[in-house]
Structure 1
């Protein structure tokens, strides 16, 4: 699928670091915890986004940030987003309210979530987003058709990862038994059949590639081929440098066009940044010190530079034939 370069050579493979800017209240939703202090600036921005902007700037990486529109309306958050754009970052649409069950909501709600998200992100960053990521990776054919109707270049919501899918279902069932139900939602099981690399999905079967389709390009979350073990911020903490080194040859062999590595803002935080012991207890990655994360992410970026050039996800998709 690579587009020929001006000299006749193939376009170089791209590494795209993407970050979902989910506020801490969404993690309280996932774990069934009470919401607290949701009116002002959120630490996921004042600490997490501040830290990731500095970290990526130090490594000369232009990342793609998927923004919840309602959060972009907070002045302190909007200031950070404007700074991100000034540094060459891309802002994508992560909906307006981050409803995990958005595909099951009425059509007018789905339309409103996309439209208001676009407006808030454009107001903060000066440009309408061209990429979408569904809250909780919960994308369906109907929702993607709506994304397509609004002229998006790409979607990056499919997570065809059986270990993640079944672990999520088990955790949600366990929380229901404890009378602390999660506000998250399961994704369609059929999405597990999707390819691991970028593809143009069929209009009626999201998981099925169709080069004749006019749907936005789909860029799934990164997985180890065969095993389909997830390669995202959380799993990097489990693998460590040696584990990433072990799977990197498989990843580099499988991703010849776009290597998309997803993080969340919380991946740039640790327990010292959160004033909720309950949330720290429920979210293991918060118990990994930031300095340890910084060293790991630096190692990952260094390895990726052996093969890839870093661009935003928009630029990488536009480079596809």
Structure 2
């Protein structure tokens, strides 16, 4: 995007967390949740999900920001796909090296190493150092934001101040623990539920509060319906359908007048048929209702949403959008 980008036009950003299928096994307590070495064609989140989303965004003519787990770049097939994505104009952001859900609770040395190794891995496949970060499981902390600031990141996009998501996540994790299949996910500080729903500079003392004088990286929250704070992400779009999205869009347009971020995961571009023969396929399909929504239906919904956004917004990567925020 050039410096002459029309600042008066609001911007829409499509972001995608490229979580492997091992991440979902970890969330649902299936096996040990570790990477076991993807086949020659790559983890299915890449060989199917990322391939499909790049084709989808290419046909729609929109750039995206892809948050990459650094360790995934070690697979040659993944590295090739990510190189193609970067060459096509998509932004590659840092999603840490190992995707530790509990990174905020680990040592300072581990937090720094996870961010630095993720940077280096992404730079190797994409040709440039990432300037944006998203925490695994949205588990951000003041210490991680401080680290991002010291490493000259432009933005963090991890804040998900959504009470319905927070409560549902806590309940599911509690049930899995009781049932003897504990999740490797982690809960974020409850104070984050108080955070703004639009881009802001976080306070050093309280990351969920806005401080216009802060020199920390911009915080770009997940998209929420104002008031009820219902999430607008890939999973909820599948539940709402086109009618539901159209019903809340006027509220979203007023609440997000400068920047509209719509977050997906690679699995949002897959369905149950894509997991045939995969490890823990039946358990994953049972645990992930979105996999039971067919790709043709998902594609129809996403096309509708993009066309609706295109009428009011210009599409850009998250990096370009943040660079055009005032201040």
> What's the TM-score once normalised by structure 2's chain length?
0.95
1:280 alignment partner in structure 2: 285
Runs of 5+ in structure 2 lacking a partner? Answer: none
Aligned to 1:28: 25
Q: Secondary structure of 2:305's match?
A: helix
- Provide the residue aligned with 1:302 in structure 2: 307
Runs of 4+ more than 6 Å apart: none
Range with greater deviation from structure 2 (31-40 or 266-275): 31-40
Contact 2:26 2:34 in 1 (8 A): no
Say which SS state the counterpart of residue 263 (structure 1) adopts.
strand
Once structures 1 and 2 are overlaid, which stretch shifts more, 149-158 or 26-35? 26-35
Structure 2 residue 315 is the aligned partner of structure 1 residue 314: no
5 Å matches for 1:248-267?
A: 248-267=249-268
| Structure 1 residue 138 displacement after superposition | 0.2
Q: Distance in 1 between matches of 2:136 and 2:83?
A: 22
Distance 1:252 1:38 in 2: 43
Q: Partners in 1 of 2:60 and 2:205 — Cα distance?
A: 41
- Determine the C-alpha separation between the residues in 1 that align with 2:4 and 2:76: 43
Offset of residue 86 of structure 1: 1.1
State the alpha-carbon separation in 2 of the partners of residues 220 and 72 from structure 1.
26
Q: CA deviation at 1:73?
A: 1.6
1:141 aligns with 2:157: no
Aligned CA distance change for structure 1 residues 36 and 117 (closer, same or farther; 3 Å): closer
SS at match of 1:166: helix
Residue 7 of structure 2 contacts residue 324 of structure 2 at CA under 8 Å; is this kept in 1? Answer: no
Equivalent residue, structure 1, for 2:185: 184
Distance 2:78 2:325 in 1: 32
Q: CA deviation at 1:221?
A: 0.2
RMSD: 1.3
Report the secondary structure of 1:196's partner residue: coil
**Unaligned segments of structure 1, at least 5 residues:** none
Q: CA, structure 1 residues 284+32, in 2 after alignment: closer, same or farther (shift >3 Å)?
A: same
Shift of 1:288: 0.5
Contact 1:73 1:124 in 2 (8 A): no
Question: Number of paired residues?
Answer: 316
SS in 2 for 1:260: strand
Q: CA deviation at 1:11?
A: 2.7
Change (3 A) 1:6 1:45: closer
State the TM-score, normalizing by the size of structure 1.
0.96
What is the rounded CA distance, in whole Å, between the counterparts of 1:19 and 1:105 in structure 2? Answer: 25
